Structure 1
């Protein structure tokens, strides 16, 4: 089991997002993650059809599970979180002050998830990409440039949602 290096946590929430799971567990993307100093990848794969092969080597491991009651510990232990664009996953990660890369499900384009990710990206709290660009973007994005998300205040959250959804 890998004991040194950084941890990537990937979550798709309760949905199915096989394109993300397939891309993150590809040899190409895993090679990039290793080169970037990551030694452990934890995948929360939801109800998708893709079940990646577990890897348990001295210098690298990949683990996958479908669901847990809470992913808070995985987020807390991660050096990088890669997530679908679900509001809950994004806000839990940003609240934990972890660097976040949101992967947009191109099959769901035009929904509130894209709007939320776009606004959070414009505000420099996260980066976003698509499955086809994930490997390239992991190599080129500088997560140290991201700004911390403000502490939770219900009025700030509702104002943010209004802004993201174009209500105000």
Structure 2
């Protein structure tokens, strides 16, 4: 069932970025870089909304009126579900809750590995799902290349099922807080 995800074609296409409750300034800085913004714009995306969590890196806001990407950000929200539902593309940290919620919604996903974390078993989960063509994996340094070369039509739907309880159990077992 390839071809589930198509490139953006309508006027307002949002990319939603989430770092969850973590500190992941490398991801925030990466998506705020001109290189990543240019690649997103070339792909037809018009808006970039960044949930920056506990980080200190403040993204550059822009209205997008000059033809550039419109950028906005916030730290936390009681629920990011509405943002995820309205996104055309989601870029996320490797939290199992964020990954499985995005896959459940059927949204194209780029998982960005936080290389500063020791023993990050969540990255292993993301790599397995990438091998199965359910998502793309990147690092903050390779995110722009992943956006440039990603073929959204190559992604396969994740089999339905309620994965969040399993993901939270895995996180608890591995010593990570549930999402």
Counterpart CA distance in 2 for 1:45 and 1:113 is 19
Q: Does 1:27 align with 2:34?
A: yes
TM superposition score normalised by structure 2: 0.82
| SS in structure 1 at match of 2:77 | coil
Compute the RMSD of aligned alpha carbons.
Answer: 1.9
Structure ranking higher in helix proportion = 1
**1:10 aligned to which of 12, 17, 38:** 17
TM superposition score normalised by structure 1: 0.87
The offset of 1:157, in angstroms, is 4.7
Counterpart CA distance in 2 for 1:17 and 1:125 is 23
Q: Residues 117-140 of structure 1, C-alpha deviation per residue, up to 9 Å, x if partnerless?
A: 111112211110101011111100
**1:96 aligned to which of 105, 108, 111:** 105
Q: Greater CA deviation, 52-61 or 18-27?
A: 52-61
**1:108 aligned to which of 92, 117, 128:** 117
Q: How does 1:13-162 map to 2 (within 5 A)?
A: 13-58=20-65, 59=67, 60-153=69-162, 157=166
Structure 1: gaps spanning 5 or more residues: none
The offset of 1:153, in angstroms, is 4.1
CA contact (8 A) 2:112 2:139 kept: yes
The offset of 1:68, in angstroms, is 0.6
Counterpart CA distance in 2 for 1:37 and 1:69 is 29
The offset of 1:109, in angstroms, is 4.9
Runs of 4+ in 1 over 6 A off after TM superposition: none
Counterpart CA distance in 1 for 2:161 and 2:76 is 25
Higher relative contact order (Cα pairs below 8 Å, separated by 6+ residues): 2
